[in-house]
Chain A
Amino acid sequence: MTNFFDSEVDRRQLLKGAAAGVGALGIAGLPSFAYANISPELIKLAGGLPKDAAASGKPRMGGTIVYAMEAEPDILDPHACGGWHTSRVVLQMYDQLVEHDLTQPWYEAAPPKLVGSLASSWTISPDGTEYTFSLREGIKFHDGTPFDAEAVKFNFDRIWNEGAPNFYPRAKAYRAPDVFFIKSVDVVDPHTVKITLKEPFNSFLLRLANVGPGMVSMISPTALKKYGNEDIALHPTGTGPFRFVERVVGDRVVMEKNPDYWGGNPKVGPFLDRIVIKPVSDASARVAGLRGGSFDMIIVPAPDSKPLLEKEGFIWAQGICHHNWYWAYNMNKPLFQNKLVRQAMNYALNRKALCSDLLLNTAYPMNNGIDPPGMLSFDPSFEAFEYDPKKATELLAKAGYAKGFDTTFVTSTDGSGQLIPVPIAEHVQADMRNVGINMNVQSTEWVSYFTKWISGGFKDVGASQMSFGAPDPFWLELTIGGNFFIGTAGGLNAGDYKNPAIDSVMQAARHEEPPKKGDPYEPWGLSTKAVDLWRKANRMATEDAPLLLVLSDLNPMAYNKKVQGKVQTALEWFSFRTIWMSE
């Protein structure tokens, strides 16, 4: 397995190996060995290659960056925080055993390959149930506690082992898909940990590398014992490139460089002395603060500020991502038990117009099936539900709704990753009206919406909307699968969709053997066969249409010219480790 900190040296080499079957794309500036998901069409839809791709120079040490984000962070506990916005903060102070390579931009790989972080290498038993991790030696947590196999076990006890004294129910609730299949966690020797699974689960590495909500980071056991499961959030203590300095609720979170960072070197960072993170909920206030010089970098700038910011010399960065914005049809309603109706609505929606006219090309139209572009199983060759109102009308007539029908779709008014839900919903509503469907839109604010959504509270509406996703194809099963959470509260399958044929393909996909050496998908821990099965499931599910597909966010960010080395990954998260300030 590759080493995180050799990645600067051999990343391109490795990608060459990984890019089986992908020839030169012949686009100026685009590496000719890009990963299979990337195509010229995709790059065009994602808004093109970044204009600052060539910017570089020798990284300058020191300096402070001020980053304004979209909301007040939740608790700073990697195991139990909600939302990507908090995860992006917590991530900087912690490391996971395995991570996505955050130095790899979206136009090189979507998602970035997996690299060892606190684990230097790992082996997977041939039957796919035993994962043995060799841990990097000589690493210390921010409080001086040595990182070793006991520390790993202590952390897994917290998030998974209900019998352990330090077990934390809230952490297990957040980490459920990561720890679903764990049977035992054993210390083999001080620098080796073996995790045994109840059944083969080839997405396990991807789950360990996943971020949002929260992540399987390693927290100092000493700090956990000292502060307890709740108060550790006030004293984040990890091994990451930045250390916690202070948090003033409603105003800022401050971090400083970890001078003893185990992976620190002048080539890969960390370079910054200090990171100041400001919660600024109003998008136009973030843009104003960037223009006025109060902030160096902002996330989720208002789409309509793009031309202005670019004219004033700011960098606008965006790229494909695994962030799916969709409606889940309510399968308890006879109307939506009719596949033709579900398909008709998908044909009636002009996604490209929505993305270009309303969102000014800051979002990707979901015309390639359910799996979004940043997901490993994304299938660019699969074209689904191109805008075709005529076909939609035909399908409706065939379904017995020639005159259309009335229904109610719900969404939130705001919230994590929701973009501008009400205007998007109204755009969809207008397209539906063209084919005779009278779609009422109801919206409520985020917390009450989310709590109702997550506890199966929308049984009386036509469909409920959500925005979510992961680089890991297992996300499809969490979202539409019938094997998890069905019949209980919780889980992502809001429409109660169940299709045994697709379920069995998805189960086979996650049971597939670990990849052989040289398999193009080895850098992600999956075999080609597993990815092909996920793609099959994606095609079957898309055709059966449990969701009204809308768009995938391109995760836009904007920053001033002083900010260098920022890598726009095909992920919802990024590292400050690569960033440096030119002045």
Chain B
Amino acid sequence: MIRYIIRRGSHFVFILFAISVIVFLAIRMAPGDPIVHLAGPFATATQRAQIRTSYGLDKPLPVQYVKWVEKAVQGDLGLSMQLHVPVWGLLVGKLLNSVLLIVGSMIIAITLGWGLGILSGLKPGSFVDRLAQLLAISGISLPAFWFGMLLIIAFAIRLPWFPASGIISNRGSGGVGDVLWHLVLPALATAALPAGIMIRLTRSTIIETMQLPFVNALKAKGLSNRVVTQHIIRNAMPALLNMTGMQAGFLLTADIFTEVVFSWPGLGFQIYTAIIAQDYMAVQGAVLFVCIIFVALNIIVDVLRPLFDPRIRLV
């Protein structure tokens, strides 16, 4: 296990290096020049050069890259060029907001995805199965921004039960209850897609598992349906876990549509804003940050797998 983590860790470092080089170059290859934009409409060439020097962007690319990495490994992602605040501080707060939204929507997605997926997988063709298929197709095909708007119109404007926007009440003092109240609609909107995917994948995993020979063996041994079902679910678990981890990682940035519709101050929207402003430091920092989290999530899921599947040993 330890050896496995070390080995994966070294892959991890390599992936981070590759990603950091790619994002460093990609943002600089994009059309447009952030310094020209920062310097404003009336800047002369000299003023632009002065400003470029003050951001260290007059240095050759390898020098810029090494400087950035040197600082990044010490935990300093630099200052946002656009807003002049530390990138690290910009991202941590947003990550917590995004995690909150992801946890909220994953609770909904897992409940629906695993619950309906298992039920419909166990009884293909039944009413529950058809209902689950309908929900799954809707969840996958409704764009989150559109579904979010529908939720706002239904449950924030027509029936004023939930707030339409933001993470805390702008006029009140906030508090946990207030945040949860604001979480309901964005979490529902965000959950739709992963719930849909998980219903379908869970269903097919369960159907596949049911066709494995051990199921017939268990039945032949005369075990009750309940016990057989337990075994089926346990056998399907590694696949379900894998897929759930992937969905959660995917949501880290894919919740951007919900963030825009509900003005939820999350990581996805922060990255989008940074890219639009061509804020080199913020984009580089943010992509690295998301990459670390994504790889870490994958390692966690890998480490958890043997707990559910004794055939897998991490070496």
**Which A residues form the contact surface with B (CB < 8 A)?**
64, 66, 68, 72, 74-75, 80, 82, 169-170, 172-177, 213, 230-231, 233-234, 248-252, 276, 278-282, 284-285, 288-289, 291-295, 444-452, 454-455, 485, 488-492
Contacts and interface: CB of A to CB of B under 8 A. Distances in A.
B179 to A, nearest CB: 13
B265 A82 contact: no
A170 B261 contact: no
A564 B53 CA distance: 48
Contact of A288 (B45, B165, B270): B165
A285 B165 contact: yes
Contacts of A291: 157, 164
Kindly list the 9 A-B residue pairs having the minimum CB-CB distance in the complex, ordered from nearest: A448-B32, A292-B164, A176-B42, A173-B43, A251-B265, A292-B156, A289-B165, A294-B165, A451-B36
B262 interface: yes
Interface stretch (B82-90, B132-140, B211-219, B224-232): B82-90
A412 to B, nearest CB: 11
B42 A294 contact: no
The DSSP consensus for interface residues of chain A is mixed
B119 interface: no
Interface centre among B31, B32, B38, B278 (most CB of A within 10 A): B32
10 contacts: A249-B270, A276-B170, A278-B166, A278-B263, A289-B164, A448-B278, A450-B37, A489-B44, A490-B43, A491-B41
A559 B261 CA distance: 19
A295 B164 CA distance: 9
B164 A288 contact: yes
Contacts of B164: 288-289, 291-294
A447 B277 contact: yes
Interface string B245-260: 0000000000000001
Interface residues of B, number: 51
A250 B270 contact: yes
B270 A173 contact: no
B47 A288 contact: no
B30 A280 contact: no
B135 to A, nearest CB: 25
A64 B166 CA distance: 16
A202 B39 CA distance: 27
Given A292-B156, A448-B32, A284 B149 contact: yes
B33 A293 contact: no
Contacts of A74: 82-83
Interface in B47-88: 47-48, 50-51, 54, 82-85
Nearest to A172: B47
Given A285-B260, A445-B276, A492 B166 contact: no
B167 interface: yes
A278 B169 CA distance: 12
Contacts of B24: none
Contact of A451 (B33, B166, B270): B33
A6 B300 CA distance: 68
A491 B37 contact: no
A454 B157 contact: no
B113 interface: no
Given A233-B84, A276-B170, A284-B149, A292 B45 contact: no
Given A248-B265, A278-B263, A488-B45, A80 B40 contact: yes
Nearest to B262: A285
Contacts of B171: 64, 66, 276
B269 interface: yes
Interface centre among B42, B94, B262, B276 (most CB of A within 10 A): B42
B42 A444 contact: no
Contact of A289 (B44, B45, B263): B263
A260 to B, nearest CB: 25
B170 A66 contact: yes
A267 B288 CA distance: 54
A447 B276 contact: yes
Contacts of B152: 288, 292
Contacts of A488: 44-45
Contacts of B165: 68, 278, 280, 285, 288-289, 292, 294-295
A447 B278 contact: yes
B308 to A, nearest CB: 38
B145 to A, nearest CB: 8
Nearest to A453: B41
A66 B172 CA distance: 12
Interface centre among A284, A293, A447, A489 (most CB of B within 10 A): A447
Given A234-B84, A292-B164, A295-B170, 8 more contacts: A173-B43, A173-B48, A174-B41, A292-B165, A447-B37, A454-B37, A490-B39, A490-B48
A431 B83 CA distance: 42
Nearest to A466: B41
A581 B167 CA distance: 23
A499 B205 CA distance: 75
Contacts of A233: 83-84
Contact of A75 (B33, B84, B156, B273): B84
A147 to B, nearest CB: 25
B48 to A, nearest CB: 7
Contacts of B34: 447, 451
A285 B164 CA distance: 8
B160 to A, nearest CB: 7
B170 A490 contact: no
Given A75-B84, A170-B51, A289-B165, A281 B260 contact: yes
B169 to A, nearest CB: 9
A297 to B, nearest CB: 12
Contacts of A68: 165, 263
A461 to B, nearest CB: 14
Nearest to B39: A173
A444 to B, nearest CB: 7
B163 interface: yes
A458 to B, nearest CB: 12
Given A172-B47, A452-B32, A491-B42, A293 B160 contact: yes
B93 interface: yes
Contacts of B269: 250
Nearest to A83: B40
A66 B170 CA distance: 7
B157 A292 contact: yes
A492 to B, nearest CB: 6
A249 B40 contact: no
Contacts of B160: 292-293
Interface centre among A82, A169, A234, A284 (most CB of B within 10 A): A169
Contacts of B44: 173, 485, 488-490
A296 B35 CA distance: 36
Nearest to B48: A489
B153 A288 contact: yes
A68 B164 CA distance: 13
Interface in B252-305: 260-263, 265, 269-270, 273, 276-278
B50 A169 contact: yes
A421 to B, nearest CB: 15
Interface centre among A64, A80, A82, A292 (most CB of B within 10 A): A292
A61 to B, nearest CB: 16
Contact of A446 (B41, B163, B270, B276): B276
A231 B170 contact: no
